[in-house]
A and B are shown apart, each in its own frame.
Chain A
Amino acid sequence: MNEIKEKKTISEETSSDDMKVLDDLTSSEYKWGFVTDIESETAAKGLNENVVRMISKKKNEPEWMTEWRLKAFRYWQKMEEPTWPNVHYPQINFQDISYYSAPKQKPKLNSLDEVDPELLKTFEKLGIPLEEQKLLSGVAVDAVFDSVSVATTFRETLKEKGIIFCSISEAVKEHPELIKKYLGSVVPYTDNFYASLNAAVFSDGSFVWIPKGVRCPMELSTYFRINSQDTGQFERTLIVAEEGAYVSYLEGCTAPIRDNNQLHAAVVELVTLDNAEIKYSTVQNWYPGDKEGKGGIYNFVTKRGACRGKNSKISWTQVETGSAITWKYPSCILQGDNSVGEFYSVAVTNNYQQADTGTKMIHLGKNTKSTVVSKGISAGHGNNSYRGLIKIGKNAEGARNYTQCDSMLMSDKCGAHTFPYIEVENESSKVEHEATTSKIGEDQIFYLNQRGISTEDAVNMIVNGFCKEVFKELPMEFAVEAQKLLAISLEGSVG
Chain B
Amino acid sequence: MLSIKNLHANVDGKEILKGINLEIKTGEVHAIMGPNGSGKSTLANVLTGNKNYEVTNGNVLFEEKDLFDMDPETRAREGMFLAFQYPIEIPGISNATFLKTALNEIRKYNKLPELTPTEFLDRIKDKAKVLGLDDTLISRAVNVGFSGGEKKRNEIFQMLILEPKFVLLDETDSGLDIDALRIVSNGVNIYRNPNNAFLVVTHYQRLLNYIQPDFVHVLYKGKIIKSGGKELALELEEKGYDWIKTEEFETENAWPESE
Binding site for B on A (CB under 8 A): 3-4, 7, 10-11, 14, 441-444, 446-455, 457, 461-462, 464-469
Q: Is A446 within 8 A of B101, CB to CB?
A: no
Chain B residues with Cβ below 8 Å from A449 are: 49, 71-73, 76
Nearest CB in chain B: distance from A304 CB, A? 30
Q: Could you say which of B49, B51, B101, B158 contacts A453, with CB atoms under 8 Å apart?
A: B101
Chain B residues with Cβ below 8 Å from A443 are: 88
In the A-B complex, list the 9 residue pairs whose CB atoms are closest, starting with the nearest. Answer: A465-B92, A468-B92, A449-B72, A451-B102, A447-B88, A452-B76, A465-B93, A452-B105, A452-B106
**In the complex where A4-B56, A449-B76 touch, is A464 in contact with B109 (Cβ < 8 A)?**
no
Chain A residues with Cβ below 8 Å from B165 are: none
What would 27 A/B residue contacts be, using CB atoms closer than 8 Å?
A: A3-B57, A7-B55, A14-B71, A442-B51, A442-B52, A444-B88, A444-B90, A446-B88, A447-B90, A448-B90, A448-B102, A450-B48, A450-B72, A450-B73, A450-B84, A451-B98, A451-B102, A451-B105, A452-B73, A452-B105, A452-B106, A452-B109, A452-B162, A453-B101, A453-B102, A466-B91, A466-B92
- Secondary structure dominating the interface of A: helix
Chain A residues with Cβ below 8 Å from B103 are: 452
Chain A residues with Cβ below 8 Å from B89 are: 444
Chain A residues with Cβ below 8 Å from B76 are: 449-452
Q: Could you say which of A454, A462, A467 contacts B105, with CB atoms under 8 Å apart?
A: A454
Q: Is B71 within 8 A of A453, CB to CB?
A: no
Interface size on B, residues (CB 8 A): 39
Residue-wise, chain B 26-50 has the 8 Å CB interface mask toward A (1 for contact) of 0000000000000000000000111
- For B104, give the chain A residue with the smallest CB separation: A452
**In the complex where A441-B88, A467-B92 touch, is A461 in contact with B101 (Cβ < 8 A)?**
yes
Q: Could you say which of B68, B72, B77, B99 contacts A446, with CB atoms under 8 Å apart?
A: B72
Nearest CB in chain B: distance from A213 CB, A? 37
Nearest CB in chain B: distance from A435 CB, A? 16
Question: How far is B87's CA from A454's CA once the two chains are assembled, in angstroms?
Answer: 18
Chain A residues with Cβ below 8 Å from B59 are: 3
Q: Is A457 within 8 A of B101, CB to CB?
A: yes
Nearest CB in chain A: distance from B167 CB, A? 12
Chain B residues with Cβ below 8 Å from A469 are: 92
Nearest CB in chain A: distance from B139 CB, A? 13
Question: How far is B162's CA from A446's CA once the two chains are assembled, in angstroms?
Answer: 17
* 19 other A-B residue contacts (CB within 8 Å) besides A446-B72, A451-B162, A452-B106: A4-B57, A14-B71, A441-B88, A442-B52, A443-B88, A447-B84, A447-B88, A450-B49, A450-B72, A450-B73, A452-B73, A452-B103, A452-B105, A452-B109, A461-B97, A464-B92, A465-B90, A465-B92, A468-B92
Q: Is A453 within 8 A of B105, CB to CB?
A: yes
Nearest CB in chain A: distance from B81 CB, A? 8
- For B89, give the chain A residue with the smallest CB separation: A444
Chain B residues with Cβ below 8 Å from A451 are: 76, 98-99, 102, 105, 158, 162
Chain A residues with Cβ below 8 Å from B224 are: none
Nearest CB in chain A: distance from B45 CB, A? 9
Q: Is A7 within 8 A of B106, CB to CB?
A: no
Chain B 94-121 residues near chain A, CB threshold 8 A: 97-99, 101-103, 105-106, 109
Question: How far is B82's CA from A442's CA once the two chains are assembled, in angstroms?
Answer: 16
Q: Is B93 within 8 A of A464, CB to CB?
A: yes
B64 contacts the other chain (CB 8 A): no
Question: How far is B49's CA from A7's CA once the two chains are assembled, in angstroms?
Answer: 13
Question: How far is B158's CA from A419's CA once the two chains are assembled, in angstroms?
Answer: 42
Question: How far is B246's CA from A462's CA once the two chains are assembled, in angstroms?
Answer: 48
Question: How far is B71's CA from A209's CA once the two chains are assembled, in angstroms?
Answer: 56
Chain B residues with Cβ below 8 Å from A452 are: 73, 76-77, 102-103, 105-106, 109, 162
Question: How far is B71's CA from A14's CA once the two chains are assembled, in angstroms?
Answer: 9
B181 contacts the other chain (CB 8 A): no
Q: Is B50 within 8 A of A446, CB to CB?
A: yes
Question: How far is B103's CA from A14's CA once the two chains are assembled, in angstroms?
Answer: 24
Chain A residues with Cβ below 8 Å from B105 are: 451-454, 457
Chain B residues with Cβ below 8 Å from A467 are: 92
Nearest CB in chain B: distance from A412 CB, A? 16
B219 contacts the other chain (CB 8 A): no
Q: Is A461 within 8 A of B57, CB to CB?
A: no
- For A457, give the chain B residue with the smallest CB separation: B101
B141 contacts the other chain (CB 8 A): yes
B69 contacts the other chain (CB 8 A): yes
Question: How far is B84's CA from A441's CA once the two chains are assembled, in angstroms?
Answer: 16
Question: How far is B81's CA from A467's CA once the two chains are assembled, in angstroms?
Answer: 29
Question: How far is B92's CA from A97's CA once the two chains are assembled, in angstroms?
Answer: 44
- For B79, give the chain A residue with the smallest CB separation: A452
Question: How far is B48's CA from A83's CA once the two chains are assembled, in angstroms?
Answer: 51
Chain A residues with Cβ below 8 Å from B87 are: 447
Question: How far is B195's CA from A372's CA once the two chains are assembled, in angstroms?
Answer: 54
Nearest CB in chain A: distance from B13 CB, A? 15
Question: How far is B89's CA from A444's CA once the two chains are assembled, in angstroms?
Answer: 7
Chain A residues with Cβ below 8 Å from B91 are: 465-466, 468
Question: How far is B97's CA from A453's CA once the two chains are assembled, in angstroms?
Answer: 12
- For B88, give the chain A residue with the smallest CB separation: A447
- For A468, give the chain B residue with the smallest CB separation: B92
Q: Is B73 within 8 A of A462, CB to CB?
A: no
Nearest CB in chain A: distance from B2 CB, A? 16
Question: How far is B56's CA from A4's CA once the two chains are assembled, in angstroms?
Answer: 6
Chain B residues with Cβ below 8 Å from A444 are: 88-90
Q: Is B88 within 8 A of A7, CB to CB?
A: no
Question: How far is B158's CA from A11's CA once the two chains are assembled, in angstroms?
Answer: 29
- For B108, give the chain A residue with the smallest CB separation: A452
Chain B residues with Cβ below 8 Å from A14 are: 71
Question: How far is B90's CA from A465's CA once the two chains are assembled, in angstroms?
Answer: 7
Question: How far is B71's CA from A168's CA once the two chains are assembled, in angstroms?
Answer: 56
- For A406, give the chain B residue with the smallest CB separation: B91
Q: Is A446 within 8 A of B102, CB to CB?
A: no
Question: How far is B71's CA from A442's CA once the two chains are assembled, in angstroms?
Answer: 15
Chain B 117-160 residues near chain A, CB threshold 8 A: 141, 158
- For A451, give the chain B residue with the smallest CB separation: B102
Chain B residues with Cβ below 8 Å from A447 are: 84, 87-88, 90
**In the complex where A449-B76, A452-B162, A453-B73 touch, is A7 in contact with B68 (Cβ < 8 A)?**
yes
Question: How far is B89's CA from A461's CA once the two chains are assembled, in angstroms?
Answer: 12
Chain B residues with Cβ below 8 Å from A453 are: 73, 101-102, 105
Chain A residues with Cβ below 8 Å from B97 are: 461
Nearest CB in chain B: distance from A22 CB, A? 13
Question: How far is B158's CA from A170's CA once the two chains are assembled, in angstroms?
Answer: 59
- For A463, give the chain B residue with the smallest CB separation: B92
- For B93, give the chain A residue with the smallest CB separation: A465
Chain A residues with Cβ below 8 Å from B82 are: 450
Nearest CB in chain A: distance from B88 CB, A? 4
**In the complex where A11-B68, A451-B76, A455-B73 touch, is A461 in contact with B50 (Cβ < 8 A)?**
no
